Amino acid sequence: MKLWKIYIKRRKEKSRKAAYTRNTIHRNRLTRIFRGWRSTTHECGIERINANEDVFRKQLEREKLTMWTSKVD
């Protein structure tokens, strides 16, 4: 009976360590995926902001000029 308890204890310990290793590997993989995704979307966002900056600026100037033109008349 004593040997059986030792065997069960050892098996649970090995199972726990294997689960910890699996979880660590999976967590690291997800971390790498999301870091890559974050950097890619960050670069795309900066490019989109730079591309739309001129359009936004012209649209804002047009709105302001229209507003002041109607007040001056």
Dist. CA 13–CA 8, nearest whole Å: 9
How many domains does the chain fold into? Answer: 1
Dist. CA 37–CA 62, nearest whole Å: 37
Give the range of the structural domain holding residue 16, as residue numbers without chain letter: 1-73
pTM: 0.53
pLDDT reported for residue 67: 74
Phi, psi of 27 (to 5 degrees): -65, -40
Q: State the pLDDT confidence band at 72, using cuts at 50, 70 and 90.
A: low
Q: pLDDT by residue (tens digit) across 18-69?
A: 999 999 999 999 999 999 999 889 988 888 888 899 889 888 888 888 876 7
Joined together, the tokens standing for residue 54 give 């001129």
Joined together, the tokens standing for residue 35 give 């870091």
pLDDT reported for residue 28: 97
pLDDT reported for residue 26: 97
